[in-house]
Amino acid sequence: MSDCCGGACHAPTAVGHAGSEHAHGHRFWKSTGTLALVAAGVLIAAGVLASVSDAPAVSTVAYLLAIALAIPAPAGRAWRSLRARSLDINALMVVAVAGAIALGEWFEASTVVWLFGIAQLLERWSQQRARRAIRDLMTLAPATAVVRDAAGDREVPVDHVHVGDRILVRPGARVPLDGTVASGYSAIDQSPVTGESWPVDKAPGDQVYAGTINGSGALEVEVTHVAADSTLARITTLVEQAQAQRAPIQQWVDRFARRYTPAVILLAIALALVPPLVAGGDAATWVYRALTLLVVACPCALVISTPVSIVAALAAAARGGVLIKGGAHLERLGAVTCVAFDKTGTLTGDSLGVADVRAVDGTSADRVLAAAAAIEQSSEHPIARAIVAYARAANVPVDAGSDFRALPGFGAEATYAGTEAIVGSHRLFEERQLCTPSLHAEVEEIEEAGRTPVLVGLGGTGIGVLGMIDEARDSGRLAIESLRAAGISRVALLTGDRSAVASQIADQVGVDEAHGDLLPPDKVAHIERLRRGHGPVAMVGDGINDAPALAAADVGIAMGVSGTDVALETADVALLTNDLSSVPFALRLGRATVRRIRSNVAIALALKGAFVVAAAAGLATLWMAVLADTGASLLVTANSLRLLRAR
Ligand code: ADP
Ligand code: MG
């Protein structure tokens, strides 16, 4: 049974799936329905005027006309639901109106349909408002791009641009597609996509995203993703899918409403029959009271408040640069008491750089760097990007290796210069037995200097070591502070890097516990241990090595921009910036949503309860019942929409 007042919400989740057919229906209803409601309102006012100025016949005609104008919409929907063998609120409303007419209560009958129409209008408006907040995201990217090739510049629809094409982004224009800067310098306002408030400087080689706004420089961009594949398109698809998923609390509300409506109907029948038959009450009085009870049976406020809260929160999150893949995750975010962070690429990574290049056994430093860069060219790991950038800056030719393979938590390997090449941790080289005494000596020196060694092997033997420096992101410390302020009882650091580095970073950001030398399954084990000891866990990570832990956590949060696709896919929440303050923001939003839904349910139930009693006692009139319901819907909807402003 579709329990809410509006025929529009066949299912409250229709919010995300309003296709064009739906939208068309809405517009049609809006134009004719709204006009009819306005006219009915005027007629009711005229009827009231006529009745106080002693023209009862005129007033009856006015009320009847008002009913005739306002009833077709709910009557049509009631008919459709009856044919589908369900009893929806429209049917209840039509019965109540028919009853009022039968009792000769023209004023009552006309105000009930009219107020009911207003309630439906409000409901639709609030749903559209929340939905529009998400739609706004999708219309960010321009529909055409200026492609630059041998033939010159021409404007083409974005769907016709291919990966590898060069496009021109003029100053002040929106970037139409994802790509890397090929030439030109500019600052780009990424706030529409990532929520970052400051423009980000872009130089050749940097990534730009569809939907962001170019500053004062012209950029030539090499397209890396077709339009349907852009970060923005991915975000909007994910948010759309998110709306279709129902949160447990939402399912509870729906189940409750399904039982509640028939229960009130039974009560209404009993109320109409029992007192007159048993106690000899006046039949008309008790039928009227039963009709009032029927109107009270509309659980609108209860049912609409939840989806509106969730969609509003999802939209607020997306605007703040946090992508939550469904209402259920939002609800679980609200329950989290413990947060685990990955290190490389999550708590650190912005300042990752190569500090040392050591070659052993007669190899040259350039050869070590060239071999490392050849493998790392194909890697998504933040260490890999730092190595490739360093090699380029040092003018070491970077050839691409072939047969690349990531070794999550360890390193990577590829074929380079006709032989097998490998980079990664000391542990990896120990396990593969690639260590030599001279390599060992260099590794120890680098570790003593507090750096992370990345070993390089070629043709079955270690040829050198790179020393990486890495510092905690500024936002990490602040984020952890505000997590604690929000009552998170345990914050952990889980890393594949050495334990010494783990505790060094732990001191910088202030976590409760830090664990190093973890392989992907070890991270999962830690998540499970944390959950047993401290309750629901959120894991924040970026890499392929984090994917199992992200899936194992109650809520997996991926670093969206710098993170890998695997992490993004596995996670429940994606951060669109590297700003870790989004983590406490998401937790607070989750809690606020759950709180908002609970208070809405309490408001709705209290009002209903009061009206059931008042109706049975004969203290409430039909129009008061409808007005109370409209008021409650308005109240809870306004309460839900406040989430849109969350920051
Ligand atoms: P974290 O858990 O902190 O994100 P990872 O598990 O990704 O770290 O990496 C653990 C260690 O494995 C790194 O400190 C590094 O020594 C090595 N490693 C992993 N991937 C790579 C790579 N692509 N290149 C070089 N070293 C790597
Ligand atoms: Mg990582």
Q: Each residue of 129-161: pLDDT tens digit? A: 766 766 666 666 788 899 998 888 899 999 899
DSSP-assigned letter for residue 617: T
Q: Rounded CA gap, 321 and 560, in Å?
A: 9
Joined tokens for residue 237: 């698809």
Q: Rounded CA gap, 469 and 449, in Å?
A: 10
Q: How far is the CA of 381 from the centre of ligand 1 (A)?
A: 7
Q: Rounded CA gap, 462 and 441, in Å?
A: 12
Q: In sequence order, which ranges of 449-546 are alpha helices (DSSP H)?
A: 474-485, 499-509, 520-534
Query: Residue 531's pLDDT is what?
Result: 94
Query: Residue 264's pLDDT is what?
Result: 75
Q: Ligand 1: does its nearest atom lie under 6 Å from the Cβ of 345?
A: yes
Same domain, 304 and 441: no
Query: Residue 439's pLDDT is what?
Result: 92
Joined tokens for residue 136: 């706004």
Same domain, 520 and 479: yes
Q: Which atom of ligand 1 is nearest to the CA of 497?
A: 14
What SS3 class is residue 128? helix
Same domain, 440 and 466: yes
Q: How far is the CA of 152 from the centre of ligand 2 (A)?
A: 43
Q: Rounded CA gap, 59 and 65, in Å?
A: 10
Q: Rounded CA gap, 410 and 289, in Å?
A: 74
Q: Rounded CA gap, 518 and 440, in Å?
A: 21
Same domain, 399 and 310: no
Same domain, 494 and 427: no
Joined tokens for residue 533: 């000891």
Q: Ligand 1: does its nearest atom lie under 6 Å from the Cβ of 432?
A: no
Q: How far is the CA of 345 from the centre of ligand 1 (A)?
A: 10
CATH for 478: 3.40.50.1000
Q: Return the best residue to mutate from 350, 466, 540, 545 for the ligand 1 pocket (most ligand atoms within 8 A of CB).
A: 545
Query: Residue 561's pLDDT is what?
Result: 62
CATH for 218: 2.70.150.10
* Domain span at 106: 21-137+238-314+590-645
Write down the catalytic residue from 3, 165, 178, 342: 342
Among candidate residues 457, 472, 487, the one where a domain is terminated: 472
3 assigned to active site: no
- The chain-wide mean pLDDT, for the chain, equals 83
What pTM, to 2 d.p., does this model score?
Answer: 0.73
- Indicate the number of domains in the chain: 4
Among candidate residues 422, 439, 472, the one where a domain is terminated: 472
Same domain, 111 and 161: no
Among candidate residues 212, 229, 246, the one where a domain is terminated: 229
Tell the residue number behind the tokens 């939002």, with chain if given. 330
Q: Averaged in consecutive runs of 10 residues, what is the pLDDT profile of the chain (647 residues)? A: 38 35 45 81 91 87 92 87 74 80 84 81 72 65 86 89 92 88 88 68 88 86 88 69 67 72 80 85 84 73 75 84 84 93 86 89 91 89 90 87 86 91 93 90 90 92 92 87 91 91 90 90 92 94 83 88 66 83 93 90 84 81 78 81 79
Same domain, 72 and 46: yes
Query: Residue 63's pLDDT is what?
Result: 92
